[in-house]
Amino acid sequence: MSPRTLAIRENILGANSRQADSNRKRLDGSRAVMLNVLSSPGSGKTSLILRAIDRLKARAGIAVIEGDVASSIDADRVRLAGVPAVQINTGGGCHLDALMVGKALDELDLGHIDLIFVENVGNLVCTADFDLGAHKNVAVLSVPEGDDKPFKYPVVFAGADAVVVNKIDVAPYFDFKLDGFPRIIGGMNPAAKVFAVSARTGEGLDGWFSWIEETLKQRSGI
């Protein structure tokens, strides 16, 4: 990278991180928790979020900020589940940034929201650099993608507070070594919690729900 390109990049990331801090302060002021959910396309982010909505919506106000290159398919699914969703279309951009999320927060009634899921654009490369103001990052991968994914995209997995392995119902057909996977994550990110689940069958989801509930209790007291 040339010095000039480097300087531009540092400016962009600096401005983003100031906006991210301001998003976080705003959420802290209304005692809302925001989770940034990251994965490749098709790992099951929307399904995992919908499962959590189903489990938690009776006791917590939930909203979703949906990041997609195009379409409002995921936001429509979330609204059908009965919670507010703000769709952000990046028009080709491969990640959300803190300013986009700040504008989405303007559209939510934060006084009635305890928990916000940000479903980031399906991408494990450029999403990693942009702090959105979330309190926790959740990295999702699915069994068909392979257990070597954390080595290929270490920034996302090393920076995650929770790692969710989805689609364990198809594990018999793939070489993904579920037993050894927590050790892979532990080697690069000892503090991360690892959950092996199937959003389709419901297997293993209780751990994922409990982690969200614990995070809510710590930050919002509910």
| Nearest distance, CB of residue 53 and Mg ion, angstroms | 13
Pattern of binders to Mg ion over 52-81, x per CB under 5 A? ----------------------x-------
Q: Give CA torsion, residues 126, 128, 130, 136, to 10 deg.
A: 150
| Nearest distance, CB of residue 151 and Mg ion, angstroms | 24
Closest CB to Mg ion among 39 and 215?
A: 39
Give the residue nearest to Mg ion (CB): 46
| Nearest distance, CB of residue 139 and Mg ion, angstroms | 15
Phi, psi dihedrals of residue 137, rounded to the nearest 5°: -110, 135
Structure-block tokens of residue 135: 């309190």
Which residues touch 119 (CB under 8 Å, ≥6 apart)?
A: 37, 45, 46, 49, 64, 65, 66, 67, 74
| Nearest distance, CB of residue 36 and Mg ion, angstroms | 14
Pattern of binders to Mg ion over 27-56, x per CB under 5 A? ------------------xx----------
For 128, how many CA atoms within 13 A lie in the half-sphere containing its CB? 18
Work out whether 131 is an interface residue with Mg ion (CB under 5 A): no
Closest CB to Mg ion among 39 and 189?
A: 39
Say if CB 208 and CB 164 are below 8 A apart: yes
Closest CB to Mg ion among 45 and 219?
A: 45
Which stretches of the chain bind Mg ion, using CB under 5 A?
45-46, 74
